[in-house]
Chain A
């Protein structure tokens, strides 16, 4: 359902979910972000270019980290969403709560 890749560039951890995140697969996203934090990364980018679908279970994962990231001064930026995926975030007004940008260059600037 979802495959999640990780790649490190200039001290930034880039998480790339490939496929669809729903109630059965959101745990994969949660574990990946938790692992990144556990390894000490303070700058995390989520490359959404291969994310085909996300339901509330996946959105809930991102939201569950908002407080922790604020407390620990960690930064997370999501980028390169398709129109459909971006629409899901928009319906819930998550553009106000998460940092979302158009591409990797912008995303890297925002975490530096």
Chain B
């Protein structure tokens, strides 16, 4: 969580606003705690040492955020969170109307993920890896991509001609690279500019 320590002469709303501005977050999420009172000479000047803390729990607040959006969209859904190793979070959404939430080629799903990742990283100093999955879409897509990767790689190894795959987003490209990283006969590389980056599978020179 973000914390910020400072000294002030008075404690009021302006103090809170100052702390929120300094940390660049919405002041509704900030709480102040007086750590120490400093007295000047003769006890006239009083200074407070204040610590401002952002009240944010990555898992529960993210679930609340997702639920709020889904309720606004009038979609009933179950949201579950799962913490992997270190700062890895996976959120799974299961709704009655999954196709709407996934969108064409997972476009809406990516938008939700971008927004949630941004939402979490605003309130924290640490960097979190966020993955959102809806109704097992990403898992299924991963399997498909792995099949595609293996199939294409076999062809490339046989014919020794490079093959370009369709444009993909960062996550999908990563799946392909990881899958083919331990192959002896082929190398993979991403080419082109976002958002039209694609993977090229090349035969390895012998």
| A and B interact physically | no
Interface residues in chain B, defined as those with a beta carbon under 8 Å from any beta carbon in chain A: none
Binding site for B on A (CB under 8 A): none
